[in-house]
Amino acid sequence: MESPISHLFKKLIIFFLITLLTTLVSSKQQCRNFKSIISFGDSITDTGNLLGLSDLNNLPQAAFSPYGETFFHIPTGRFSNGRLIIDFIAEFLGLPYVPPYYGSQNVSFEKGVNFAVAGATALESSFLESRGIHYAHTNVSLGVQLKSFKESLPNLCYSPADCRETIGNALIIIGEIGGNDYNYGFVVGKTVEEVKELVPLVISTISSVITELVSMGGRTIMVPADFPVGCWPAFLTEYRASNKEEYDPLTACLKWLNEFVKHHNNELQEELNRLQKLYPHVTILYADYFNALLHIFQEPAKFGFMNRPLSACCGSGGPYNYNSVSQCGTKGVYCCIDPSKYVHWDGFHLTESAYRLIAVGLLEGPYTIPAFDWSCRGFELKNGSSGKQYSFSSR
């Protein structure tokens, strides 16, 4: 007769084996060897699309020096001094930098494809116009980008089955998108409550695009949160207040604006959780841009930035080095000597150094929810050609 101790020991062994098997299966489901990146969004992700869509008489500011000076050494249409978050993700996965779709020749899935356009909104421009939100920027909304992607498929893959497999093997990045819908609303003088009415519409639009991409074969979709734009030099300049209560005592950012962004991000995360339950075979990742960047603003020196991180590197005038009339890329506008010490590049966009740290926070740190196993590739983010490696805990 088997002793109670032997029986308990066997049960423990069985429990351990089941747990180990479950863990291995779960890891295998999450760990994917991505063949390419497909992306949508606005200037945070644009690798040259607005430049490709512009005529020579109306080029964007990112077409001029000092944009691109740190890494590419020429302007590429990226709204930064160097690489963006998407560029660091591509490096980490061992993939080429994702080329822009608009204005490019011979785009293929071998290098990935990017539809993100600077100035883009989640909602259609006609709808925003009907709400009294007028703006002179691009009308390439998220819906237009998705339409371009669907129309491009015959040139990117050989057959419907091939397209489905290719989409399934890609990391799909949707955003950051929606921030401009709100930014334009605030710029034209809408109240917080009026702009807040757009939030469920923006979330619904993002959700619809995710659903459509899942139906096309998408298996791994990353959706970034909006940034803490209450820390943006442009908004700090526009909404400068004498009342200290309006500012976060730790970061000196505008509290009310960051609270608004938190509302959007909470709604987005809830919707992604709902979609994850609806599509359990798909991995839907929430990229927490907000807290990854806020951590930097809270402890800038820890990450190698100057102790006053709210000023733009490239700009002119005022306490935040931002002037809406004389912006970065305009002749005569000053650029700092060492952008690596700055978080902000031009008042609306970040430096390469800040984007790198955010990417590290997503790929090696705690800011991808749920935690994702990127170990299929095993690459590490490096600082330019020096080979210096970074982790989010120290710089």
The catalytic residues are 43, 346, 349
User: In this structure, are residues 231 and 297 in contact, taking their beta carbons and an 8 Å threshold?
Assistant: yes
Distance, C-alpha 275 to centroid of its chain: 20
Q: How far is CA 178 from CA 196, 201, 260, in A?
A: 12, 10, 13
User: In this structure, are residues 258 and 231 in contact, taking their beta carbons and an 8 Å threshold?
Assistant: yes
Helices 255-278 and 179-187: crossing angle in degrees, nearest 10, is: 150
Q: Which residues contact 138 (CB under 8 A, 6 or more apart)?
A: 50, 53, 117, 118, 119, 120
Q: Which residues contact 28 (CB under 8 A, 6 or more apart)?
A: none
User: What residue has token string 């709204």?
Assistant: 79
For residues 90-123, b (16+ Cβ closer than 10 Å) or e, as one string? bbbbebebbbbbbeeeebebebbbbbbbbbbbbb
Q: Which residues contact 273 (CB under 8 A, 6 or more apart)?
A: none
User: What residue has token string 């008042």?
Assistant: 347
Residue type, 319: P
Q: Which residues contact 334 (CB under 8 A, 6 or more apart)?
A: 314, 315, 316, 321
